[in-house]
Amino acid sequence: MKPARKTVRRTRKSPDLPPKSEVVVVPADCTVRNIVALRERLCEASDNVRNITLDLRHLQRFDSATLQLLAAFARDQAARGTNLLTCGASVAWDEAAALLGLTATLAGSS
């Protein structure tokens, strides 16, 4: 008598399913002179994700152009119903956002 054979059903993930979340790493030096790379990366973010996390841990230099770009991105994502999260924001980032009145926008609320 042969032993019973285990059957393992393998389910393939459909390539049509969008990712549930995405991380955008903000570069260390992100000023108006080199903000184009960040803008391109933000444009590459999928329209179908539920959550986008902005990783600010490496950010060392930024200016108001960076804050304005990310605020516009936050507004667009909020309009799509995407949750925008941040991690690693420095005290300088929080202070600059407050100074420009962008705290609520960058926090994902209107």
Within-domain flag for 49 = yes
Q: What is the pLDDT of residues 1-32, one digit of tens each?
A: 665 555 555 555 555 665 689 999 999 999 99
Instruction: Choose between 11 and 72: higher pLDDT.
Output: 72
CATH at residue 61: 3.30.750.24
Within-domain flag for 37 = yes
Within-domain flag for 6 = no
The number of distinct structural domains making up the chain is 1
Within-domain flag for 101 = yes
Within-domain flag for 2 = no
Q: How far apart are CA 93 and CA 49, in angstroms?
A: 25
Domain that includes residue 67, residue range:
21-106
Angle, vertex CA 38, rays to CA 40 and CA 107, nearest 5: 115
